[in-house]
Amino acid sequence: MKLTLGFCFLICLCRPLPLFPQYAPIVLDDSYEHDKWGTEPRDLMFFFAAYTVSFDGRDDNNGDGNSDLWGIPEWVSYEIKALGEDHSLGNRPRWMTDPELYAAGIAPGDESYGVSGTSRLGEVKTDYRFVRGHLCPKDTAERISRDAAYNTHTLLNAVPQLQWQNNGIWKNLEALCNGWANSWGRIWVICGPVFFNKTPSLWLGQDDEMRVAVPDALFKIVIREDPADALKTLAFLIPNILPKENRNPADFLTSLARIEDLTGLVFLTALGSQGAALKQLKGRIEDWQPLR
Ligand SMILES: [Ca+2]
Ligand SMILES: [Ca+2]
């Protein structure tokens, strides 16, 4: 028996895991409070310089009594500060994953996003493919450091997203957020996937790969402190499949309460019961224009 176990152990050691690119050094900056307003529940937590992530673990997301693994973050939160010195952007690195979670079958590797070999088909490129959509964008993280930006290229910070949305309405919303941070000094963002019936209907990944759930929609909540009110918030709910022409995030405003209903997440826990009324409001983009 000992011999058999030893042999199995050797086999395991000999089976090579894919070589993933390594993270750049993670240097946390205490002046950033990425989840300042409190987001619950917290699953597998990771703390990067530019963002905080709660990645889906073996809990039961859809409440059917069975453990499930969706291969994506449940939420990512990050603080954005006003742009300091303008700077050039670093190159895009290869996508990384967490080697321990990958070995445990909890986080995907890059192959899951290969979409059944469609990268080799000329017909399936540009708009009509699922790409790795950053939740904390790389160019926002560049405001902190080149290393912080590099470390956004991990599948802990990504969900499958149609290319035209990633490069269209979602990119527009990211640019708005960067602009609002410039106007107001600091803002906070919480974003993540939404599944309308609590169970994914579409997955990436082939039989020998970890399956990755394709969200039905993404949410993004934006928060800032206000001189008059305590807080101003905006909540966006953007379907993953949209007409390409629809690029205006303002068309997709909703309330934080609606996002809570859809995701089971709870926002603004730091405010306690004081946050309840705020969560019912549908914010207005006009309230985010800079003061004159
Ligand atoms: Ca789970
Ligand atoms: Ca389940």
Classify residue 29: in a domain, yes or no.
Answer: no
Please tell me the distance between residue 13's alpha carbon and the centre of ligand 1 in angstroms. 28
Query: Tens digit of pLDDT for each residue in 239-288?
Result: 988 888 888 999 999 999 999 999 999 999 999 998 999 999 999 999 99
Q: Which two tokens stand for residue 180?
A: 């609002």
Classify residue 130: in a domain, yes or no.
Answer: yes
Please tell me the distance between residue 62's alpha carbon and the centre of ligand 1 in angstroms. 8
How far apart are the C-alpha atoms of 10 and 12, rounded to whole Å? 5
Burial class (CB in 10 A: 0-12, 13-18, 19+), 260: middle
Summarize the confidence of residues 94-108 as an average pLDDT.
95
Please tell me the distance between residue 208's alpha carbon and the centre of ligand 2 in angstroms. 21
Please tell me the distance between residue 48's alpha carbon and the centre of ligand 1 in angstroms. 22
Cα–Cα nearest to 81, from 174, 146, 144 = 144
Please tell me the distance between residue 65's alpha carbon and the centre of ligand 2 in angstroms. 6
Classify residue 206: in a domain, yes or no.
Answer: yes
Q: Which domain holds residue 108?
A: 39-82+89-284
- The pLDDT, as a whole number, for residue 122 is 58
Counting DSSP H helices and E strands in the chain, the numbers are 8, 13
Kindly report the backbone phi and psi dihedral angles of residue 218, in degrees, each rounded to the nearest multiple of 5, phi listed first: -120, 145
Please tell me the distance between residue 36's alpha carbon and the centre of ligand 2 in angstroms. 29
Classify residue 8: in a domain, yes or no.
Answer: no
Q: What is the CATH number of the domain that holds 202?
A: 3.40.570.10
Classify residue 1: in a domain, yes or no.
Answer: no
Classify residue 267: in a domain, yes or no.
Answer: yes
pTM higher than the cut 0.75: yes
Summarize the confidence of residues 44-61 as an average pLDDT.
97
Count of structural domains, the chain: 1
Classify residue 4: in a domain, yes or no.
Answer: no
Classify residue 61: in a domain, yes or no.
Answer: yes
Please tell me the distance between residue 70's alpha carbon and the centre of ligand 2 in angstroms. 10
* Ligand number nearest to the C-alpha of 57: 1
